Amino acid sequence: MYKLLTIKDKIRVPPVLFDKNKENSVSDAIKEELIGKLTKNKGIFLELVKIEEIGEGTIIPGDGAIYYETIFKVLVYEPEMHELVHGKVKEIVEFGAFVSVGPFDSLVHISQVMDDYVSYSKTGNLQGRESKRSLSVGDKVIARVIAISVKSAENAKIGLTMRQPGLGRIEWIEEERKKAEEEAQKKILKSKE
């Protein structure tokens, strides 16, 4: 889930950034220190949105840097269990599909692609035996998070499922919605007879 967080922290501005004004040097220090990094209970920092307040600087002898008490807003992404996510299929492999979700690549295991026997085809897609539905690179999907193991930004493992109603390739969801609307119309017409 994407979140906008307000953080109050001491930001270390190294001497190499002293040639800039205070706001730009603090901004660059925050970006260098946090952006793209994973922090416990906050997720992965994606972008510095705004610096709200910069306090007086403190110099620690022997360090050479200036430390500023700073309040700032950042955009973070933290996957949550059972969250619905939109993604795009990045790669199809024999055991499933890798889907880009936020800053992470997630896996939809072959057993979680659809309620059908699914096989890997020679053309590089996943194919349902009875439904004849296929999943290919570039397809947009809606999935649910069912497993999370995020030890580092580079070593994140997120498991997804698309087997529940309302999930899967966008075109499958539209087909199901149209089918449900047609069934409802038939029931209404039948009840009026």
Residues 31 and 65 in one domain: yes
Beta-sheet strand order (sheet of 126-128): 118-120, 126-128, 134-135
Under the phi-then-psi rule, with left for phi > 0, alpha for psi from -120 to 50, and beta for the rest, what region is 140? beta
Q: Are residues 111 and 159 in the same domain?
A: yes
Whole-prediction pTM: 0.76
Q: Where a domain ends, among 17, 43, 77? A: 77
Beta bridge partners of 135: 126
In tens, the pLDDT along 104-153 reads 889 999 999 999 999 998 888 999 999 999 999 999 999 999 999 877 66
73 and 88 inside one domain: no
Same domain, 100 and 67: no
User: Does residue 183 lie within any of the structural domains?
Assistant: no
Say how far apart CA 158 and CA 149 lie, in whole Å: 6
Is 63 within a domain? yes
Taking Cα atoms as reference points, which of 94, 103, 102 lies closest to residue 113? 94
Q: What is the pLDDT of residues 5-58, one digit of tens each?
A: 999 999 999 999 999 899 999 999 999 998 888 877 668 899 999 999 999 999
The answer on 113 and 50 residing in a single domain is no
Q: Are strands 38-39 and 43-59 parallel, antiparallel or unpaired?
A: antiparallel
User: Which has more confidence, 84 or 157?
Assistant: 84
Same domain, 66 and 91: no
Q: Are 91 and 41 members of one domain?
A: no
CATH number at residue 47: 3.30.1490.120
Sign of the CA dihedral 113, 114, 117, 119? negative
- Say if residue 94 is in the same domain as residue 114: yes
Structural domain contains residue 190: no
Q: What pLDDT does 153 receive? A: 65
Q: Do 69 and 130 share a structural domain?
A: no
Domain range for 115 is 84-170
Number of domain units in the chain: 2
Q: Are 91 and 36 in contact (CB under 8 A)?
A: no
Strand partners, 5: 74
Cβ(54)–Cβ(22) below 8 Å: yes
Do residue 14 and residue 88 come from a single domain?
no
Evaluate whether residue 182 is within a structural domain: no
- Say if CB 89 and CB 97 are below 8 A apart: yes
Residue 106 in domain = yes
Question: Do the domain assignments include residue 118?
Answer: yes
